[in-house]
Structure 1
Amino acid sequence: MRDRRLAPRRREAEFLPAALEIQHSPPSPIGQAVMWVIVSLFVVAIGWTTFGKIDVVAVARGKLIPNDHSKIIQPLDAGIVRGIHVREGQDVRQGQILIELDPTASRAEQERVAKEHSAARVRVTRLRALLAGGPFEVPSDADPILATLQGELLRDQRREFESRLEAAQRAIEQREAAMAATQADVQRLETTVPMLTERAEAFKILLEGGFVARMQYLEIEEQRITRVQSLAMQRERLVQDQAAVAEAHQQKVALEAELRSTYLTELAEWETRATSLAQELVKASQRSAIQRLTAPIDGAIQQMAVHTLGGVVTPAQQLMVVVPHDHPLEVEAWIENKDVGFVSSGQPVEIKIDTFPFTTYGTISGKVLLISRDAVQVDKVGLVYAVRASLDRSAIVVDGRSTPLLAGMAVSLEIKTGQRRLIEFFLSPLIRHARESLRER
């Protein structure tokens, strides 16, 4: 009804002057509708920013890797390439020979160490036989010439040992003989001295009775005194001879101990040498064995760096990479320090493959598997943490066909760490600046 009443007014106002026409024309309902639409949109926007939440993500750059990791083929020592048995992209089986290095140097080193080890063992056997007095049992792998020389040396050492002990024994016997002679003299004098003493006393009685001449008494007394002095000297000599015999026994024991100590010291040195050479032989054998570089897993050859027979390779040089077959892909990415505190295992992720723009081909979902416990230094980036994430699928649809993802593809990993109200994005900087300004002097 209201529109019907307004219609005549609009027609009447058309015949009025322009200024009066504007004054008498009713407002257009379109303007009011536009205003209400704007107000409604503003209210909805305020409500959405206040109550609506959006995902908070931490972004990390990385690449796709097999979950069993690609295996790098490297030589342990420098060498010359003797054979190349694979080519780029070739599939290989575990244990298959990839590269052969010239084994001449390593084999010569192994033979040298083996000979030295065998010689050390022969010397150890010889010294043990010398100390134990047993037979000389040569190891079966010993050099015959060396075994013969060591056998002759053992016989010479035994003769020397026995001759020196025999000389010491002869010295003991000589001193014992001298001691026995002295002891016999002492016994003889101990028997004759009492008799001479008795005769001297008898001559003294006869001298006092005037039955013998004084000269006869003095001769007997002189003999007695001489015998008594000789007995004292022989007793002293007997003590010296006994000491000499004891000293000779000690010298023999010391000589035997010295010889055994010398041989034991030499034995310990050669046993130590043999043990050290045994370890070196194990290393040399290992070096000789690894002159053939084999595939550690089933996979495909990539990144071949050697193509020339006779070329020289250096220790730990990357010669090629074996990428495993039939192993699910994972994402290995590096997350910055400022984000790592909000990332935990099990969080959902979105993976964007650089090769396939996500705006056209979409993203791949997954979840965080693990986060490293320590940071590593990366050039031009600083300290970052390694993150591993799984993929829900290992292929992406391109032009209607499924295209498999490949190891090494660069990706962007978006980890959903939580949700946040939109208004907080606008208020947080203001609140932070306000708090910081309140603390300033």
Structure 2
Amino acid sequence: MNNTSLPVASDSGEQLPTSIDPSSRDIVSADDGHAVRLLDRLADQVWYFSSDIGGDRPEVLARNAVRFGVLSILCFFGFFGLWASFAPINSAAIAMGKVILDSNKKTIQHLEGGIVASIQVKEGQTVKAGDTLILLDETTAKAQYELLRKQYVTALATEARLLAERDKKKEITFPEELLSGEHDEAVVRESLDSQQRLFISRRGNIEGQVSILGKKIQQFKEEIQGLGSQSVSASEQITLLEAEIQDVQTLVNSKNAPRSRLLALQRQLESLKGMRGEYGATVARARQSIGEAEIAILNANNDFMNKVNEELKETQSSLADLEERLRASKNTFTRITITSPISGIVVDMQVHTVGGIIRPGDKIMNIVPTDDPLIVEALVSPQDIDVVREGLDANVRLTAFKSREVPPVHGKVTQVSADRFDDPNTGAAFYKARVVVDKDELAALGKDIEMYPGMPADVLIVTGERTLVSYMFAPIRESFSKSFREH
């Protein structure tokens, strides 16, 4: 290696060395020649700048200052460029939001509406689940309910009586619902007594018809029996008379008896035969009457059963309709007492006048739950919805407090709406994201720092990491991606 140094002229005319004395590099081995050459050049430059700084002329000092400044700027931008290119920074979607209840406030409404009879609460009052809020006038609802209940009880008793008639029972078996005291006792007793009397009356009527027809049948049977005896007697007389006629005929032939006697006996014989024939015809008519009576009994029973079955079908159909109407009427009657569905605080009361009218479906008041957790509802821009999803971290700043005193609180996105919403006033579009705030972190801020429903908040939803250079050049890349396209 050549250790000869070349002279370099300074501004003062002095020659400066451009290399380090070889004796100062004895500790470096021959294998490190490349490193030695780099150290030589660095030492030469340091020596050169040292020589210039050592100058005492103003232009030398100014030039050195410029060199130092330029070198510093280059170093700064170099390090900044490296940091901007490789150092990751969090990217976030910024959204306005507010504190809400996790299950939202409950709006109290009434299905049918009515006249206000009594107001039991006032604005800001704390109520428990099941507490009475407002009483409506019960006159119409109660009258309708009582009327339907009476009709229902009557239909139940009627059904029991018709079932007993259909099954030919001797007494009515009423359902347990009528005997358990579930319905008004006076109404039930009246219905049971009425159906019992009707059961006895109708049963007596059909039994009376059958009894009359049965008696007729018995009479016809007795008549047939009597006619049979008379017919037998006539037959016996005919037999005797025929024998006598034969004897007289012999006497007449021998001229020992007049012919007139023979003719009289023959007339008597024909009369007996006629009577015997009439007895037979009368028996036939009696037997026909018995058949007709038996058919009448059968028809009476059939007509009665058909009537019972028809009435039973109508009663059961009416009973089903009454059951539905009674259930609806009972619900309506029950709803005259408007109660709180949850424990909470009464807000935004719309009813203040006793005797006032509540229209069906109108808002009466709101109940703000006191035991529901508070969350932050963030309104996410549609441009950010592609990167906002459930499970992302978020930083929530409660803007009601001073930002210098209250730092952001960590939270997590638990739900993102499936469709967008439009503000009816401004027309702005947004998606709703629910953010749950870390309770421990919020409690650590102090007792005075609490969230209240409706409190505004700024939400930064952390969507990922990217470098500053990537962020700065994103608009340019997007512009290029849209360029040179035909529309």
TM-score by length of 2: 0.63
Q: Distance in 1 between matches of 2:327 and 2:137?
A: 19
Q: What is the one-letter code of the residue matched to 1:159?
A: G
Determine whether 1:104 maps to 2:149: no
1:384/1:118 CA distance change after superposition, 3 Å? farther
Q: Distance in 1 between matches of 2:458 and 2:227?
A: 110
Partner of 1:44: 82
Q: What is the one-letter code of the residue matched to 1:315?
A: P
Query: Given the alignment, which residue of 140, 161, 166 partners 2:206?
Result: 161
Deviation (angstroms), 1:253: 2.2
**Is the 2:378–2:459 Cα contact (8 Å) retained in structure 1?**
yes
The correspondence of residues 352-391 of structure 1 with structure 2, limited to 5 A, is 352-356=397-401, 361-371=406-416, 375=419, 380=424, 387-391=433-437
Task: Write out per-residue CA displacement over residues 225-277 of structure 1, whole angstroms, 9 at most, x where no aligned residue.
Answer: xx89x98x999998897677556434422321221221233234334434543
Listed as ranges, the gaps of 5+ residues in structure 2 are 1-46, 180-184, 256-261
Deviation (angstroms), 1:406: 0.7
Determine whether 1:300 maps to 2:340: no
The correspondence of residues 185-334 of structure 1 with structure 2, limited to 5 A, is 245-246=290-291, 248-333=293-378
Deviation (angstroms), 1:84: 2.4
Determine whether 1:433 maps to 2:468: no
| Equivalent position SS for 1:89 | coil
| Equivalent position SS for 1:346 | coil
Q: RCO higher in 1 or 2 (8 Å CA, sep ≥ 6)?
A: 1
| Equivalent position SS for 1:43 | helix
**Is the 2:151–2:322 Cα contact (8 Å) retained in structure 1?**
yes
1:366/1:31 CA distance change after superposition, 3 Å? closer
Partner of 2:125: 90
Query: Given the alignment, which residue of 59, 71, 86 partners 1:33?
Result: 71
Q: What is the one-letter code of the residue matched to 2:452?
A: L
Q: What is the one-letter code of the residue matched to 1:322?
A: I
| Equivalent position SS for 2:186 | coil
Identity %: 22
1:383/1:166 CA distance change after superposition, 3 Å? farther
**Is the 2:120–2:132 Cα contact (8 Å) retained in structure 1?**
yes
Partner of 1:405: 451
1:38/1:276 CA distance change after superposition, 3 Å? same
Q: Distance in 2 between matches of 1:313 and 1:253?
A: 63
Q: Distance in 2 between matches of 1:153 and 1:193?
A: 59
1:343/1:3 CA distance change after superposition, 3 Å? closer
Deviation (angstroms), 1:79: 1.9
Partner of 1:78: 113
Q: Distance in 1 between matches of 2:92 and 2:98?
A: 22
The correspondence of residues 140-155 of structure 1 with structure 2, limited to 5 A, is 140-142=185-187, 150=195, 152-155=197-200
Partner of 1:132: 169
Deviation (angstroms), 1:95: 3.6
**Is the 1:118–1:141 Cα contact (8 Å) retained in structure 2?**
no
Q: Distance in 1 between matches of 2:58 and 2:349?
A: 93
The correspondence of residues 3-18 of structure 1 with structure 2, limited to 5 A, is 11=57
TM-score by length of 1: 0.68
Q: Bigger shift: 109-118 or 39-48?
A: 39-48
Q: Distance in 2 between matches of 1:352 and 1:327?
A: 21
Q: What is the one-letter code of the residue matched to 1:318?
A: K
1:124/1:336 CA distance change after superposition, 3 Å? farther
**Is the 1:364–1:393 Cα contact (8 Å) retained in structure 2?**
no
Task: Write out per-residue CA displacement over residues 80-107 of structure 1, whole angstroms, 9 at most, x where no aligned residue.
Answer: 2222232222223344333222223322
Q: What is the one-letter code of the residue matched to 1:40?
A: G
Task: Write out per-residue CA displacement over residues 46-72 of structure 1, whole angstroms, 9 at most, x where no aligned residue.
Answer: 524xx6343243x55553233454333
Q: What is the one-letter code of the residue matched to 1:433?
A: K
Listed as ranges, the gaps of 5+ residues in structure 1 are 15-24
Q: Distance in 2 between matches of 1:115 and 1:76?
A: 25
| Equivalent position SS for 2:363 | coil
**Is the 1:99–1:292 Cα contact (8 Å) retained in structure 2?**
yes
| Equivalent position SS for 2:439 | coil
Q: What is the one-letter code of the residue matched to 2:71?
A: A
Partner of 1:18: none
